[in-house]
Structures are given as structure tokens and as C-alpha cells.
Amino acid sequence: MASMITLKRRITSIRNTRQITKAMEMVSASKLKRAQEYAEISREYRDLAYDLLKRLNAMSEVERMPLFIKRPVKNRLYIIITSNTGLAGAYNANTLKLLNEGLRADKAAHVKSHVIAVGSKGVQFVRRLEDVNLLAAYQPFGEQPTANDIRPILNTVIEQYREAKVDSVQVLFTDFKSSLVQQAKNLQLLPAPVPDGNIEHLRISNFEPDAATVVHEVATRLVEVQIWQAVLESLASEHAMRMVATKNATDNANDLIDDYTLELNTARQAAITQELAEITGGAEALAT
């Protein structure tokens, strides 16, 4: 059994840690509310934009335009969104697991892998890998990301695909379902998949003023929306998972404090009993 001094030090240390985790839980809960509102406001627009991107991809008029050309995949670009800090449960691990699975599949298919990493956790992971090109690294975009924050990534993606430096672009992020459910997701960005079902009715379409102008102006914005929403979903998921993780840490600290307090009381009682036994024994010795 540990000494009482050691037990007291452990209890004090755990109480200090509990204060930190409790404060982090409250901060994450506050940030989660705002991040959830931002993600939910634009979610339907993201879905409609992705549906439109798929519909454009199914039209014969755009088949030879740079963002819709389908090539055999020899180079694949991953955009991975992680955080700068830990203590967020499996937030980073789930996304990095998806990336690792994709990289293994690419290696087996002799496809070269390129990565744009957002967040230091993703950057650190990719830098330890062999035969993976870290194309760009970005810090997380804060609590209220703007279009200017996203635009460097968008420009890089558009340039890489237009110039045929990559043949496929995928976004790996964490999709926010609720404060308790978040799912790591792999979104095929370029070339966009075609809609399910019969697409013959999409083959003949009218563009005003012309197809090239519409695609040039619209397609880039539709791609930007997907990256933008992925950042918002990931931000809300990060706060949710950190809130749950810090709450669990606080609960575990309370359990440890209770256990160590019980052990301390047991040790104190044993010490008192020992002292009483010694006093009683000494008094009996003097009486004889």
C-alpha cells in the first residue's frame, strides 16, 4: 500500500488535471454549438451542389472540359482534414485510418499518392510515410473559416487536375451526424461520380450562353463548396469528440479520486489502529 503522503500527492495531482479537463469540456461544448450551426446551415446546399456536379459530369457537352476529363488513375490526390491537438477521442485516428487504407490500395495498384494535409496531426503522419508526396500543409482554419482560407487549397486542386498532374481527388474528413455520432468519410471530388440510375435524359441539355462559360464559372464553385463543407463538418466533429473525450477524462478523474480517497482513509485508519495498539501495549507493559 502506498504511503499517505504519496496518496495525498496523487489526489492533488488528479484534482488539478480534473480542473483542466472540465474546463476543456465546457470550452468544447461552447464551440460545438456554434460549429454545429455553421455546418447545418450549408449542408443542404452542399448536397445540392454535389448532385449538380454529378449531373454535369454525366452530360456529353462537358466530357472534354478540364475538370470533367476522366483518365486512368496513375496519380491520386488526397485532401485530409485533421486537428492540431489531441485529446479528441478517435477524431484524428479515424481519418488517418481511411488515408492509410487508401494509400495501401494505391500502392497495390501502382498509383502514386499525393496529400494536402490540413492540421499538424495529418502533416506529422504523412511525413513519416515513404513514397507519399506531401503536396501542401495548412494549419486548421480557426472557429470561423472564410472563403479566403479555403481558396489556396481549391486553387491547388484545380491546377493539379487541369494540368493532369493528378487523375483523382478525394477529400477525407469527419462527417458530423450528432454530438455523439461522427463518421470518417471519403468523398470522391474529381472526377465526380455520375448520378445513379438512368442518365440518358441528362445527355441533351441547353447551356446559356454556352457550355464552356457555364462550366468554367460553375464547376469551380461546386468543388469549392465540397471542400468548404468538409472543413465545417470536421470542425464540428472535432469539438464534439473533444467534448466527449474530456468528459470521460473528468469522470475517470472522479473515479480515481474516490478510489485513492478510500485507500487514503484505509491507510489513515490502519495507522491510527497501529498507534492505539502500540499505546495499549506500552501501558500494559508499564502496569506489569
In the structure, what pLDDT confidence band is assigned to residue 199 with cuts at 50, 70 and 90?
low
Q: What is the tens place of the pLDDT at every residue in 46-56?
A: 988 888 888 87
72-103 residue pLDDT tens = 999 999 999 999 888 888 899 999 999 999 99
In this prediction, residue 1 carries a pLDDT of 52
Number of folded domains that form the chain: 2
pTM of the model as a whole:
0.84
DSSP string of 21-33, one letter each residue: HHHHHHHHHHHHH
Are 45 and 221 contacting, i.e. CB atoms less than 8 angstroms apart? no
Beta bridge partners of 170: 78, 188
Same domain, 255 and 133: no
Q: Do the domain assignments include residue 30? A: no
DSSP states of 125-144:
HHHTSSSEEEEEEE----SS
- Are 113 and 13 members of one domain? no
Question: pLDDT tens across 219-261, in order?
Answer: 888 899 999 999 999 999 999 999 999 999 999 999 999 998 8
Pair (178, 252) in one structural domain: no
| Domain enclosing residue 267, as ranges | 4-23+245-287
Strand order in the sheet with 168-176: 132-138, 112-118, 75-81, 168-176, 182-190
pLDDT-based confidence at residue 270 (cuts at 50, 70, 90): confident
What b/e sequence results for 102-118 when a residue is b if at least 16 CB atoms lie within 10 Å of its CB, and e otherwise? Answer: bbeebeeeebbbbbbbb
pLDDT, residue 288, reads 64
- Do 267 and 166 lie in one domain? The reply is no
User: What pLDDT sits at residue 250?
Assistant: 93
What's the pLDDT tens digit per position in 114-123?
999 999 999 9
For the residues 102-111, what does the mean pLDDT come to? 94
**Whole-angstrom Cα Rg for the chain:** 28
Report yes or no on 143 lying in a domain: yes
Q: Which set of grid coordinates corresponds to residue 62?
A: 462537358
The number of residues in the chain equals: 288
